[in-house]
């Protein structure tokens, strides 16, 4: 079984400042890793994912995440945040095999302060 830990439930950040949202996972097998974003009053949508290859993955809106196997982490970063980044961010994990389900973390609410 897999589990995901997002230790920060809320992260306030000033506009144009950098941000890091932390995600650690636990699994006895190799995994795929995902970050989903939920804007207010909407469903979740995929932000980025790590499947294989380069450990650094990027999204179209400036976020990036780095897979660190030794530390079992997949932290999400952005060098300069915008008001429109205000949302809840969920880290998720799926096993490479028998991977019918995603396991989600409890989410991190990112609030951008003008």
Site for another protein, rule CB under 8 A: 6, 9, 32, 36, 42-46, 49, 51, 90, 94, 96, 99-102, 104-107
- State the DSSP string of the chain: --EEE---SEEEEETTS-EEE--EEE-SS-EEEEEEEE-TTS-EEEEEEE-SS-SEEE-TTS-EEEEETTTTEEEEEESS--GGG-EEEEEEEEESSS----EE---EEEEEE-
Closer residue to another protein in complex, CB, 80/99: 99
Q: Which is nearer to another protein, 49 or 77 (CB)?
A: 49
Smallest separation, CB 8 to another protein (Å): 12
- Minimum CB distance to another protein, residue 19 (Å): 20
Q: How far is the CB of 73 from another protein (least distance, A)?
A: 18
């Amino acid at each position: 079984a897999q589990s995901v830990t997002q230790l920060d439930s809320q992260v306030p950040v000033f506009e144009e400042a950098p941000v890091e949202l932390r995600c650690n996972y636990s699994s006895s097998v190799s995994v795929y890793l995902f970050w989903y974003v939920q804007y207010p009053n909407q469903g979740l949508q995929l932000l980025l994912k790590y499947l294989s290859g380069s450990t650094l993955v990027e999204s179209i809106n400036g976020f990036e995440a780095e897979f660190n196997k030794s530390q079992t982490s997949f932290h999400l970063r952005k060098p300069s945040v915008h008001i429109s980044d205000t949302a809840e961010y969920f880290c998720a994990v799926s096993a490479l095999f028998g991977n019918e389900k995603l396991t989600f973390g409890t989410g991190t609410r990112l609030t951008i302060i003008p």
